[in-house]
Structure 1
């Protein structure tokens, strides 16, 4: 084999970086991993949901009622949309701590008196532009400014919080537009419209991640950025695009939470970033990047939402919920380490 035909991973090894069989250089590795390991992990999460269902039936008679199940799905919808964006970023080797407050900022901007005076289309447009804009700022500073993602997104979290408070005067802004306000109360075939929006975002995200070049490049960059660069991928531009995707999800979630609460507020999204990241980890995505599935992340959202619902039905304190969530996150990371070592 001539030097020109050496695969990127092997070329990296010749340059002084040992080739790792787990390194991702294109679509081959993600496909192998998703077929051999991730479905088993997803099946395990389904088993956890089934176990939670049994616990729910035994401890709360109303757990399996149609109303309660729809409550779980509705609660999972907003966090779930944020989790879709977080999954792309983490698979690509990054992290985004700002999603909760970017969502809050987008909800505030979309519900000012000036914005609402132009109608629902402008409100949606403003929310999406604010989300994508904040995501692009994150992505450009990380990829071209070469600043650590943790620092950039933490700074964005603080800045978005401050800007949202400045715009709203630390007051909740009431949604007066009937179209936006009616999104959360509208039902199709008995299912809230918010759940359909969530399902559409998940479906589009799955196609983008698993059936397009964009998705394959995301896995490649998360698995081995240097190998991806040698393979001809513009790592910096793609990284910026990943954070823009996360910002877009924040904009969508902003409209959803504004409709659900009928307000735009700087208090929206508090700790949502931790819930989204935790769901991604529970879903089997490696924090180091390169491996993961969107379906696993959504199952992680459902696990957390179901646990919260069980705690509420059984009148358990919020503190106990947080302790349980923390223990689940630690257990998931330990399982990841053992799985990767085998």
Structure 2
């Protein structure tokens, strides 16, 4: 047999080293293949959303098992959606900020400040002379202004988002208390209350506002240059800068967008409670961040999902509803939410680590 023929059969060739047979294939363990497929499924948007749907269904089963008829009614479903609507609008805005590599701890305080400023005697008097839309514009403008301050300090002042928004939390809450003099301000315009507490074909207006915010947010994040720039800035700011994206301006826009969302949420909570108060929005930062993270948006930035955020909001609102129907206090709810946030982040890191290995 010639040397060349021997080499073709996988035996040692002229160099003495075995020559690989092209007809032979490497054998991959079935367990590794299944594991990689499962990891890929978890990392995909379909897999994440499927997991959220399963979690929501399980929560509903728990609610039916523990609260019975009190949970499984149409009125209770509408209650859950109404409660989800306010925090849901904020969470849509928070999705953009976190996707862009930031964080905002001041959203609850901004909601409180917007509600107080929009319900002062002067603002309500102007609304009575013109239209109740004046109160809406006031709340949204206050939210946008707070977002602008956050964005400018973070983007151009190069201060850590945690520090800036923590300072805004204290300042906005304190200013709300000063304006309201620690009193609850009652809304006297019945047209404002009736409009936002009304229904369209049986669906509450507040729920429709949440749905519209989610649709607009999804389109903005997934179908526009603004969304692509947001993910680029969150994923790698330096690479985004080299690609021609104005990173500082984009970052400022994200916080302004979240501020506007807080202003809209302030209008919604004003309508729901018929008041403006410096106590509105307590722990909204926890609820919104929790909903965004559990929905699949990376805390490190670079990936965001509005659909996941909507599911995250529904999960946490349903959880709160189940706890309330079972007479569990708010402290227990806070502990549960904190544990879920930690679990979600750990799961994200684990899936991300496996994805890099495969």
- Superposed pair shares fold, TM > 0.5: yes
What's 1:43 paired with?
50
Q: Alpha-carbon deviation of 1:185?
A: 2.5
Distance 1:182 1:34, change over 3 A: farther
Q: Alpha-carbon deviation of 1:179?
A: 2.3
Counterparts of 2:305 and 2:290, CA distance in 1: 14
What's 1:68 paired with?
76
Query: Aligned pair 1:296/2:304, yes or no?
Result: no
1:74-103 per-position Cα deviation (integer Å, ceiling 9, x unaligned): 000000011011100000000000110001
Counterparts of 1:49 and 1:99, CA distance in 2: 25
What's 1:173 paired with?
185
Cα RMSD after superposing both structures: 1.4
Q: Alpha-carbon deviation of 1:36?
A: 6.2
Query: Aligned pair 1:86/2:85, yes or no?
Result: no
Counting only pairs closer than 5 Å after superposition, residues 118-133 of structure 1 correspond to structure 2 as 118-119=126-127, 120-133=132-145
What's 2:30 paired with?
none
Counterparts of 1:54 and 1:34, CA distance in 2: 25
What's 1:26 paired with?
none
What's 2:197 paired with?
185
Among 341, 349, 356, the residue aligned to 1:337: 349
What's the secondary structure of 1:183's corresponding residue? helix
Counterparts of 2:187 and 2:230, CA distance in 1: 37
Q: Alpha-carbon deviation of 1:34?
A: 11
What's the secondary structure of 1:288's corresponding residue? coil
Distance 1:34 1:165, change over 3 A: farther
1:154-211 per-position Cα deviation (integer Å, ceiling 9, x unaligned): 0011000111111111101101112222234311222211000111111111111110
What's 2:32 paired with?
none
What's the secondary structure of 2:292's corresponding residue? helix
| Structure 2 residues not aligned, in runs of 5+ | 1-39
Query: Aligned pair 1:53/2:65, yes or no?
Result: no
Q: Alpha-carbon deviation of 1:35?
A: 11
Counterparts of 2:352 and 2:158, CA distance in 1: 28
8 Å contact kept, 2:101–2:234: yes
8 Å contact kept, 2:42–2:351: no
What's 1:216 paired with?
228
Paired residue total: 310
8 Å contact kept, 2:140–2:260: yes
Query: Aligned pair 1:96/2:104, yes or no?
Result: yes
Q: Alpha-carbon deviation of 1:318?
A: 2.1
Counterparts of 1:60 and 1:169, CA distance in 2: 40
8 Å contact kept, 1:38–1:292: no
Larger Rg: 2
8 Å contact kept, 1:206–1:294: yes
What's 1:27 paired with?
none
Q: Alpha-carbon deviation of 1:319?
A: 2.1
Counterparts of 1:209 and 1:236, CA distance in 2: 18
Counting only pairs closer than 5 Å after superposition, residues 231-250 of structure 1 correspond to structure 2 as 231-250=243-262
Among 150, 153, 176, the residue aligned to 2:165: 153
1:193-231 per-position Cα deviation (integer Å, ceiling 9, x unaligned): 100011111111111111000000000000000000000
8 Å contact kept, 1:180–1:255: no
| Structure 1 residues not aligned, in runs of 5+ | 1-32
1:23-51 per-position Cα deviation (integer Å, ceiling 9, x unaligned): xxxxxxxxxx9996122111100000011
Counterparts of 2:104 and 2:338, CA distance in 1: 19
8 Å contact kept, 1:282–1:300: yes
